[in-house]
Amino acid sequence: MITVELSRIHGDYGFEATDAYGHAVRMDTSPEHGGDNFGVRPMQMLLMGLAGCSAIDVISILKKQRQEVKDYKMVVKGEREAGKEPSLWQNIELEFHIYGDVDEDKAKRAVELSMEKYCSVSATLTRSGTNLTWNTFVHKQ
């Protein structure tokens, strides 16, 4: 079983979560809800987790295919359900930007495999009804 700990360290809603290895993330709510912009909103952390999970998959797959990835960036945009509590992610759009001497078809396939087979965060979101769409861009260097 995986364990994380959360402690309030700033104002009413400023928290720090720490994993079993000592890695820490700060969280807060918006000023409209009493927060101080001390940290990331928890729902935004889900988008960050999705990006990180998929990035690890994509780079791992491309390395196994001996593709030379020089740099990697992602843009993730999410839209939450309106007027609902809880307000879940309804639509998420991802842009994968892969830089280097990478075959475009292999890059697209690596992204597809991550999003549809390997990424646990992607699977968690889609099983809860989130619509995920993505585009892959290879930038030759």
- Domains belonging to the chain, first-starting first, are 1-40 (no CATH), 42-139 (3.30.300.20)
Q: What's the mean pLDDT when you consider all of the chain?
A: 97
Please tell me the pTM assigned to this model: 0.94
What is the predicted pLDDT for the residue at 109? 98
* pLDDT one-digit tens code per residue, 60-111: 999 999 999 999 999 999 999 999 999 999 999 999 999 999 999 999 999 9
What is the per-residue pLDDT across 100-129, written as a single tens digit (0 to 9) for each?
999 999 999 999 999 999 999 999 999 999
Q: In this structure, are residues 13 and 34 in contact, taking their beta carbons and an 8 Å threshold?
A: yes
Per-residue pLDDT for 12 more than 80? yes
Q: Could you tell me if 8 and 15 are in contact, meaning their C-beta atoms sit under 8 angstroms apart?
A: yes
User: Which of 40, 69, 46 has its CA nearest to residue 56?
Assistant: 69
Work out the pLDDT band at 49, boundaries 50, 70, 90. very high
* Interatomic CA distance for residues 29 and 14, integer angstroms: 8
Exposed / middle / buried, residue 87 (Cβ in 10 Å: 0-12, 13-18, 19+): exposed
Q: Which helix (H) or strand (E) holds 42?
A: helix 42-64
Alpha carbon 100 to chain centroid, angstroms: 22
